[in-house]
A and B are shown apart, each in its own frame.
Chain A
Amino acid sequence: MQFLPVAKQKLNLAKNTMNGRRTQDRIVIALFLLPALILFLLFVIYPIFRSVYFSTFDWKGFGPAVDYIGLDNYKKILTDEVFLKAIKNVLIIITLSLGLQLPLALILAVLVGRDLPGRSLFRTIFFLPYVLSEVNTGIMWMLLYNADPTRGFINSIMVQLGFEPIAWLADMNVVIFAIFITLTWKYFGFHMLLYLTGLQNIPKEIEEAARIDGANSIQNFFYITLPLLGSTIKTSVYMSVLGSIQQFVLVWVMTRGGPVNASETMATYMYRFGFVRYQLGYGSAVAIIMFILCMIFSLLYQALTRKPDYITGL
């Protein structure tokens, strides 16, 4: 169960041998943890168990669940082509995010992280999309992606540059990439922020020393900055993967997972089959599968990368 090693704790409170101290410690521990524990058990942990329970029923949500079907929902989901398609789409999004979005965020963080005039302005601007809500982002991008060049801004630019217009959200081969572009627009700022905080922790002296030794900025980046950013990158990758698995609002607003499941993610799949079709038992099973996949990823990731990061303690 332990997938998050606790940071090394040098101080041993047992040193304080006085009994009063220990009782007092216990009280503090209990009081400090209590509010978080109550809320967490009530609204997060208990719902997980309840979802597990519902996932074993053929349940439409009209009244109590009575139609017990064991693991049938799980069998059906894992053999459903649409769900497999959703997993594939999530993998595409993860790959693109790790291959393009995070490097872009890192480059921008490096560019605006150091002594560049106007850097704080750029920093502010780049984080702006993260401040806007996902629903609004989806609506704005739908307008941009309109297939008609007289109505869709992106296509109007493409036509002016001499390209054929693309039906971004209507073309089953293109739509997932269109979604990815929007996701990048929305989230790169968040990752840039993580990298910025990481960069601030790299002492300037190290880079300056390297520069004096004749390293140029590119060498500097690859041999000094990148290795020292290791733990931050780890956090950013972790957040990005979990976010991709759970991605819902943007996709639902823009395409509803369509056309014909071409942009289905696991979360839109859950909503389509759980809510739209009133199969809440089935939807609960999808939620649990997503939960398990996140868990497996966390454990594997934890095992594969050993260095703990200060931000998450991962």
Chain B
Amino acid sequence: MNRKIFVLLSVLLAATFMLTACGTAAATEAAAEEPAMDDTAMEEAPAEAAAEPVTITWWHISTKDPALSDWQKMADDYMADHPNVNIEITVLENESFKTKLTTVMQSGEVPDIFQSWGGGTLKEQIDAGLLKDITADLDADGGAWRDTFAPGALAVFSSDGENYGVPWDMGMVGWWYNKDLFTQAGITDTPKTWAEFLTDVQLLKDAGITPIALGEGDSWTGMHIWSYLATRIGGEAAFTAAADRSGAFTDPAFVQAGVELQNLIDMEPFQDGYLGATHDEMQATFGNGKAAMELSGQWAPSVEAANSADGVGVANLGMFNFPTVEGGAGAITDVIGGGNGFAIGKDAEPEAIDFVKYLTNVQNQTIIGASGTGIPVVKGAEVGLTDPNLLLVQQSFAAAKYFQLYYDQVLPSAMGGIINDAVQKLYAGTATADDVAAEIEAGAQEQIK
């Protein structure tokens, strides 16, 4: 018996060495190719060869193709043009990225370029001196770089007029719906008001169709319904007041949002087990035609299709803006959304900023739009956008007079979790609209300073 384990151990060891050997061989091959490229580049541009070698660390969360390969290619192209620059990319899944970034930042370290959603968390990182002010770079040459961006999207990555990052895509949340199921329930037009919306929910229920797919196990999915209601009821003014502390989250708009949401929940419009379902399961429910609507972002069409049984998803997909609430201050064109961007770490070399400039130039932004990765934020890149669903989002987005950044991103970092957890209690039936507002306000008093 003893021998068996030692045989096994030696086999394992042997396997390790073999793999190491293979890996090294493969790496050497790869290395052999790369310097070859570098060499030619150096011959062509001897002036640049003298430049000091610079290493840029870049963390992003585009784990899937096409974005994954697109980013890699952009980095490779840049390195080919700038032989002195070495870009080290770390690709992480969303939640792992946040865990790792938190762990690394608390020790005072920060990557040169990393995924960011802007807003409150970015502001905290700025206040802690972890980011680099790139305002001057944006304004150089008469604001040449700055002018390429949609101003609203760029503003998400700034604080007090100073910029610390740039966006690379933008999106918004709206109601995606299954046109066939709407027809089946006898609904001829998309709802424009909350009352119409509730009527339609009832019509769908009467037709034996689950009206709404929800994945409240990931509590942000349900929070969006609440935050939209608050935006429709209170408009820009209510949120601004609550956020700058001249108002409060216990103001009527937020309580009313909870009451309206409660009305919806009381109709039991969601699929069974929605309280424990994940966002992926919500997309699967919708994609399989098991529910007529879902409140989701620009990513909905691709994810519901991928998660559906046939891989195609909803055949007749549509999107409508969140309906207005009667007597509310918000317009139907106001949208809640947000997007992805790159924050610049405090120790970033000028080359890193130059590289980000390259990443967000019109050509590369067109690639992002054309591949359906996201809705570009640079003027002129929207020509790349061909996906009809993304176009739908882009039009809604462009028509918006008031753009509200996601509640869980615009406020200080801790507030996202506080709001999500509080609103979840409405869905679970363990709190009233007043309780939820009070809980969020209590958190805000502590967190927003």
Chain A: residues with CB nearer than 8 A to chain B? Answer: 60-64, 142, 145-148, 165, 167-172, 175, 255-256, 258-261, 272, 275-280
Assess whether B124 is in contact with A62, with CB atoms less than 8 Å apart.
yes
Which chain B residue lies CB-closest to A259?
A: B275
Residue B108 CB within 8 A of the other chain: yes
Contacts of B272 in A (CB 8 A): 147-148, 165, 167, 170
Among B126-134, B161-169, B233-241, the stretch that binds chain A is B126-134
Residues of B within 8 A of A260 (CB): 421, 424-425, 428, 430
Q: Are B424 and A146 in contact, with the CB atoms below 8 A?
A: no
Q: Does B281 contact A (CB under 8 A)?
A: yes
Q: Is the interface of A mostly helix, strand, loop or mixed?
A: loop
Are A148 and B276 in contact, CB atoms less than 8 angstroms apart? no
21 sample A-B contacts, Cβ–Cβ < 8 Å, listed by A number: A61-B105, A62-B127, A62-B128, A146-B281, A147-B276, A148-B290, A169-B217, A169-B273, A170-B217, A170-B273, A170-B274, A170-B275, A170-B276, A170-B277, A171-B276, A172-B428, A255-B217, A256-B218, A259-B424, A259-B428, A260-B425
* Contact B414–A278 (Cβ < 8 Å): yes
Q: Which residue of B lies closest to A175 (CB)?
A: B276
B125 contacts the other chain (CB 8 A)? yes
* Chain B: minimal CB distance from A285 (Å): 15
A62/B424 in contact, CB under 8 A: no
Binding site for A on B (CB under 8 A): 98-99, 102, 105-106, 108, 121, 124-125, 127-130, 216-219, 271-278, 281, 290, 413-414, 416-418, 421, 424-425, 427-428, 430
Q: Given A167-B275, A258-B276, are A62 and B217 also a contact pair (CB < 8 Å)?
A: no
Contact A146 B273 (CB under 8 A): yes
Residues of A within 8 A of B130 (CB): 62-63
Asked if residues A277 and B124 are in contact (CB atoms below 8 Å), the reply is no
* Nearest opposing residue in chain A for B125, CB measure: A62
What would 10 more interface pairs be, CB under 8 Å, given A170-B273, A258-B219?
A142-B278, A147-B271, A168-B276, A169-B273, A256-B218, A259-B427, A275-B98, A275-B99, A275-B102, A277-B413
Find out whether the CB atom of B417 lies under 8 angstroms from the CB atom of A272: yes
Pairwise interchain contact A256-B217, C-beta atoms closer than 8 A: yes
B4 to chain A: closest CB distance in Å? Answer: 13
A146 proximity list for chain B (CB < 8 A): 273, 281
Chain B: CB-nearest residue to A283: B102
Complex alpha-carbon distance, A285 and B305, angstroms = 44
Cβ-neighbour of B102 out of A61, A165, A255 (below 8 A) = A61
How far apart are A52's CB and chain B's nearest CB, in angstroms? 16
A169 to B277, CA, bound (A): 8
Bound form: Cα–Cα A172–B273 in Å? 11
Residue picked from B271, B272, B276, most chain A C-beta under 10 Å: B276
Contact B127 A258 (CB under 8 A): no
CA distance A64 to B413 in the complex (A): 17
Which residues in A have their C-beta under 8 angstroms from that of B290?
A: 148
Q: Return A179 CB to nearest CB of chain B, in Å.
A: 11
